[in-house]
Amino acid sequence: MLKIVRASLIGASACAMALSFGAIANTPSLAKTMEKTVEVGGAAMYPSKNIVENALNSKDHTTLVAAVKAAGLVDTLASKGPFTVFAPTNAAFDKLPEGTVPNLLKPENKAQLKNVLTYHVVAGKYSAAWLARQAKANGGKLELKTVEGEPITIQGDKMGGWWVIDGKGDKAKITIADVNQSNGVIHVINGVLLPN
């Protein structure tokens, strides 16, 4: 009889623990804290949020967000995707010649701005490990076709860093890789890529 009571108590405890864990996992605020996040621009990037939702919270990407809004790409980058986005920081935009960003943000330059932004986007979700494997298998370089239509090149260096090279030969370093999103992945870069 004592064995039956003890077994019942153990079973009841296990059920209670399972129910408690289920309740925690289904609580939105607690479930988010259980996600594996990456910090970008002082904010946690949640894999359960889309590219736009996460980018809005990064203080290092306010210029990029403003540009995405001005180009009318919010709905596209919030869609199912998946997309791989090479996301320039504010500091990357600051490296452009003076007046370039304000000029691109003008309504009459919307098409040009859209081309610049979609040149940072590749259809599909490509992790840093995948990019590295493919580049190494291709002699150290990997060419990817962007949503804009022109290619970018991924190339490693002797120090283990990875670079994105635009059609003009300008390089941007991947500074934070594998920022996973619900509709793809972001790799933060320190330069702005420009199509030919």
| Phi, psi torsion values for 85, nearest 5 degrees | -115, 125
The three-state secondary structure class of 133 is helix
Q: Is 44 found in the same domain as 8?
A: no
For residues 71-89, give the mean pLDDT.
92
Half-sphere exposure of residue 22: CA atoms within 13 angstroms, side-chain side? 6
- The parent domain of residue 105 ranges over 36-189
pLDDT over threshold 60, residue 131 = yes
Q: Is 76 found in the same domain as 109?
A: yes
| 92 part of a folded domain | yes
The three-state secondary structure class of 90 is helix
CA distance 188 to 167: 19
Crossing angle of helices 110-118 and 62-70, in 10° steps, is: 130
- Identify the band that residue 81 occupies on the pLDDT scale cut at 50, 70 and 90: confident
pLDDT over threshold 50, residue 11 = no
Q: Is 19 found in the same domain as 80?
A: no
Q: Is 100 found in the same domain as 166?
A: yes
For residues 158-168, give the mean pLDDT.
89
CA distance 9 to 11: 5
- Identify the band that residue 34 occupies on the pLDDT scale cut at 50, 70 and 90: low
Share of the chain above pLDDT 70, in %: 83
Q: Is 44 found in the same domain as 81?
A: yes
Mention every residue, 6+ apart, whose C-beta is less than 8 A from residue 185: 82, 83, 84, 85, 125, 126, 127, 178, 179
Mention every residue, 6+ apart, whose C-beta is less than 8 A from residue 122: 83, 84, 85, 86, 144, 145, 146, 147, 152
Q: Is 16 found in the same domain as 48?
A: no
Q: Is 114 found in the same domain as 146?
A: yes
| 118 part of a folded domain | yes
Give residue 38's pLDDT. Answer: 80
pLDDT over threshold 60, residue 16 = no
Query: Can you read off the two tokens belonging to residue 114?
Result: 């859209």
CA distance 2 to 20: 27
Give residue 41's pLDDT. Answer: 77
Q: Is 91 found in the same domain as 3?
A: no
Q: Is 116 found in the same domain as 25?
A: no
Q: What is the CATH number of the domain that holds 150?
A: 2.30.180.10
Q: Is 107 found in the same domain as 149?
A: yes
Name the domain count of the chain. 2
CA distance 195 to 27: 45
Q: Is 45 found in the same domain as 30?
A: no
| 109 part of a folded domain | yes
pLDDT over threshold 70, residue 162 = yes
Q: Is 94 found in the same domain as 184?
A: yes
